Structures are given as structure tokens and as C-alpha cells.
Amino acid sequence: MRRLPTNEPVWDVTFDAQGLLTAPAAADFLDQVTAEGVQDLFVFSHGWGTAQQSARELYDAMFPLIREAVSDAASLGTVGFAGVYWPSLWFPPTPATPPPAAAAPQAGDGAVVDLSAGTAAVSGADIAASLVQGFADPAQQQTVTDLGRLIDEGVAAVGSDETDEVKEQRLVRIHQLVRSLVPPPAPDGTFEDSGEQALLQDADPKTAYQAAAEAFGSAPPGSSTQGIGDWFRHAVNGAKDALRVLSYSVMKARAGDIGRTGLGPLLAALHARAPGLRVHLLGHSFGARLVSFALAGVGAPADSPVASLLLIQGAFSHWSFAHAQDNPFGSAGALNTFADRVHGPLVSTFSVHDWAVGVWYPKASFLARQDSEADVAGRWDGMGADGYQAVAPSEDRVMPADGGAAYGFVPGAFYRVNAAAVIDNVEGEPFSGAHSDIRKPQVAALAAAAAGAHA
């Protein structure tokens, strides 16, 4: 345990990829929270990126801001903080083409925009060096390293006199290794990851990887079906894009597992030890999925200490809490039956300046265009693009630039908060845009407002 300068306790809570709590010991954590007399515990999970230091910097920036924002909240008691650390993945930065207008194009709106994720500019070795840090298993680490090498060998073979048969064999070997790293289907059986699986499990990498290159902008439109240009060059670049999609898929699956099997049970144990303690869950990016799936592991509503949920630019399906009757796909979201574990408001931010979630995230499921439902607007969009969908009761709010909002949250309702006036800095981030531009007093004020509206 450590402390803020203002003396509030902070716990660094670390999970491995399987959701096992590795530090501190569960008993020590429960003892210390109880001994500190914490009445309102803010639990925050970072998103992509494996470096503990970057997560620590996020928490060190946000916890004092939240503490200041809640300092006058009459409905809150003694405050404590917990930062969740988990092994997410980090794809190397790429020189993407930023959206040409302030409003990022949304999936399904018919916009034709010449965008590129810039994946072709990074080497296989660069990609492997970033992704390998997210795997603890030596065999998987070797597989990632081998993938980087094979991709670079493929790049070197572009324009050579190798036969098409040899080139196709290269792609088959790459695809075999990619498939060996694909996480198993989600146990909830929902459609959230089916688009990604279409690429990662495709039986024809020659065609699928060319289509991936087209979707992520390193091949011209129509090249995958019309044979435009050098098919092997496109396919090798598409293999790089497949590794980006793999990183999304692994992070989403891992975040869900850690939330369900790690954080959720820990919160239930905390409630059993201190029934009056309230927990306020916050998650950024894929960390928003982690804290959301903690609701599936916390037990019955009466066993849940969760008093508020705040998803900050969430990188997972905006249908996750959906009711089947309101969902155009006729399916309930994976978390539909767990919203009642939150005894206060369920809040999500979104911003048109978040290109990672609003532009590129849906493209990870591009091969679902083979799905009859794929053309429905928003089929593959994330929380950070437009917030909760097909939920009730739900209301819309706007985060003002000056932070002086009276949100009027009430327990049991979903809120979509348009944060475009605050989460807006895209400088130096051609791929992700403002996705991580969240270290703001206005975001802390939103967390305080959600926490203060508990039942």
C-alpha cells in the first residue's frame, strides 16, 4: 500500500493473464482496506499497454484529481483507491492517416474515406517486440517472435522470383502461428468477437490477408477481389494487420477473463468483509471491459459492493449490456443480466475524436461483411464511439469543457456522456486520436458525479 500526498491509501492490485491475483495477497488487501476504514473505494483499470510504469502514471495523475473532485461530496465517506495492473498488449505506433474532418467517419454511414492505419510502415520485428511483452508463456513468446521473423522474410520476398506456390506456403505458415495464439470463443456465446474470428480463423489466408490490407488501408480498394496490384505485397501487409486484430482479440478476451475470475470475486470478498463499503469501478479502453466483466464475477446483486460504473472510452462492444428486444440483432449482450450488480448509475464516455475506437476498432471485424447483419449501422462499434446501445432506462449527457456539469445521475440508469469537448487532443496520435486523452479534471468530476449518485 502507498498513499497520495493527501494521505488517502492506494493499492496496486496486480493480476496475471489468467486472472490470478499476484499482488498483494488477497487476505492482506482485505485486511488493509478494512483497517483503513475506507467507505468509498475507487477501482481503476488501465487499457492497452503492458508497461506498469505507464499505468502507474495514469493512476498517479487521476487519483489526486478524483480525490479533489469528491472532497465536497456529502454522500461519500472515507476514500481509498486501487489501481488494477494486468498484462495487456501494445501494438507499435504506426503513421496512420488521420480522419480528414473533425468528425471521424463511423462504420456503416456510407462515407468513403481514404484512410490507412499505417501498419505497412512497421516491420514484423517491431510488431513482435511490442506484442511479446504481453505473453508470459515462453512458447507463445517464441511464436510471436517467429511471426515477426516470417513476416519480415515475406516482405523481403516481395518482387522476387519465388513462385506463387512458395509465397502461399509462407502465408499458410504465418496463419498457422496466428491461429495458435487466438483465444478460445467467449464463454457467453455472444457475437462480440465473431468478426475478428472471421479473419483469424479463416481457411484462406491468401484472400483474407489481402482483404485485411484493404480494410486497414495498405492496399487499394477492391484489390482483394479484383486482383489489383501485387497480391503478395498486399497479403504480407495484411498479415501485419492480422497481428493487430490478434492483439485486439487477445486483450478483449483477457480483460473479460480477469474481470470475471479475478477482480469480481475479489470485490465479492471485500463486500463480505466490509458490507458497508462502496466500490466505484472505472476502466479505460480495454480496461473498461475488465471492470464491466467484474460484474459477472461478483456474485448475486446482494453480494456486490459496486456503487457506480464509469467506462472511459471503452474498447469493447457497445451492445454488451443490450436488451435482446431492443437490439437490431435480436441478441442480449453478454452483460445484459449483470447491470443490477451496480447499485448506482452506469456511465460511459464517448468522443468523436477517439479514432482508435471510432475508426479502427470496427475494422478489426471487417470480414464480418460476409455476415448478413454486417451492414447494420454500428454492428461492430465500441463504447468509446457512442456509448451504451439498446439499454433502458438510458439518457444522454454532455461533458462541458469547463467541467461544471450537474449531471443529475440516478441509480439504475445508463448514461451516454458526450466528452468530445474534453477528450479531444489528437496531436501526435495519428492512429488513436484522443483515445488516451483522459487525464483531465473534467473526467475526474464525472467519476465523482457517478460515485455520488449511489443508492
Q: What is the rounded distance in angstroms from the CA atom of residue 304 to the CA atom of residue 302?
A: 6
Give the per-residue pLDDT at 190: 54
pLDDT tens, position by position, 104-130: 444 444 444 578 999 999 999 999 999
72: confidence class by pLDDT, cuts 50, 70, 90 = confident
Q: Is the Cα dihedral 403, 405, 410, 415 positive or negative?
A: negative
pLDDT tens, position by position, 343-402: 999 999 999 999 999 999 888 876 655 444 444 557 788 999 999 999 999 999 999 998
| Residues linked to residue 433 through DSSP beta bridges, in sequence order | 354
- And the C-alpha cell for 204? 484462406
pLDDT tens, position by position, 123-156: 999 999 999 999 999 999 999 999 999 999 999 9
21-30, 159-168, 268-277: which range is least confident on average?
159-168
Q: What is the rounded distance in angstroms from the CA atom of residue 436 to the CA atom of residue 432?
A: 8
Q: What is the rounded distance in angstroms from the CA atom of residue 394 to the CA atom of residue 254?
A: 28
Residue closest to 449 by CA, chosen among 415, 422, 425, 421: 415
Domain(s) labelled CATH 3.40.50 in the chain stretch across: 2-88+253-440
**Does 2-88+253-440 carry CATH code 3.40.50?**
yes
76 three-state secondary structure: coil
Give the per-residue pLDDT at 110: 47
Residue closest to 270 by CA, chosen among 24, 29, 13: 29
| Residues linked to residue 85 through DSSP beta bridges, in sequence order | 14
409 compared with 53, residue with greater pLDDT? 409
Of all residues in the chain, what percent carry a pLDDT higher than 70?
A: 91
Residue closest to 293 by CA, chosen among 393, 208, 192: 192
Longest Cα–Cα distance of the chain, Å, equals 74
Q: Which amino acid is at 270?
A: L
- And the C-alpha cell for 28? 492482506
- The answer, yes or no, to whether residue 428 has pLDDT greater than 70, is yes
Gyration radius of the chain's alpha carbons: 22
Instruction: Answer whether 283's CB lies under 8 Å from 293's CB.
Output: no
39-43, 56-60, 72-76: which range is least confident on average?
72-76
Q: CA angle, 413 as apex, 412 and 417 as ends, to 5°?
A: 140
- The answer, yes or no, to whether residue 39 has pLDDT greater than 60, is yes
